[in-house]
Amino acid sequence: MRDYFRDREDAGARLATMLRAHAEQPDTVVLGLPRGGVPVAAVIARELHAPLDVFLVRKIGVPGYEELAAGAIADGGVRVLNEDVIQAYSIPQHIIDEIVRREEREILRQHNLYRANRPIPDMAGKTIILVDDGVATGSTVIAAARALRLAGPARIIVAVPVAGRDVAGLLRTEVETVVCAIETDSLDGVSMWYEDFRQVSDEEVRRLLAMDFKRTREGE
């Protein structure tokens, strides 16, 4: 098997093959992390005949070390804080509040843009396949998983095309299952594993979600 992907659609197709045991399961929901995770998730959802949506989560980055998550906020008002990190870096409450307000504005923007009038899907008791286009540090996916856990899913499966071996191991301590097409000891940036890693636009996310909504509504 190739040790790279042509594009995000190719990555999604390879992951869908690895996830085929979840095809045609009415309790399965595929959630893409915008924006790059959505084209990957769209292929998985189509191949598994499962509904697609986005999980809107914004990391609360440590000032000066933004890749490190001090917590996360998610669509629907979910907030998860990592008190150990906050205390270790002596982040004052007013800074946390400022970051949260900024990220809440971005989640509201994304919610209105991507979801329009569609409600947040009910995730209680469901098998959630959480998808991104690759994992470097793991902080965003971990933040998403922790926020998603509060919605009461039966299980969370993280599905990513490529991840560092150590990070994949860390993810396995957070969720029930990690499905990863390529685990590597050397991950010099996710983009290095794609021939085509062009930026995903807001409009493409909207288009993919609208296409999937039409597919599921028509009972394809």
Domain ranges of the chain: 8-56+119-217, 59-113
Length of the chain: 220
In this structure, of 65-74, 83-92, 101-110, the range with the lowest mean pLDDT score is 65-74
Query: What's the burial of 97, exposed, middle or buried (CB within 10 Å: 0-12/13-18/19+)?
Result: exposed
Give the CA-trace dihedral at 186, 188, 191, 192, to 10 degrees: -70
**pLDDT tens-place string over residues 25-58:** 999 999 999 999 999 999 999 999 999 999 998 8
CATH topology of domain 8-56+119-217: Rossmann fold (3.40.50)
In this structure, of 66-70, 87-91, 166-170, 180-184, the range with the lowest mean pLDDT score is 66-70
Q: Which residues, 6+ apart, have CB-to-CB distance to 208 below 8 Å?
A: 38, 39, 42, 52
Share of the chain above pLDDT 70, in %: 97
Q: Which residues, 6+ apart, have CB-to-CB distance to 71 below 8 Å?
A: 59, 60, 79, 80, 81, 82, 85, 86, 96, 143
SS3 53: strand
Beta strands 78-81 and 65-74 are antiparallel
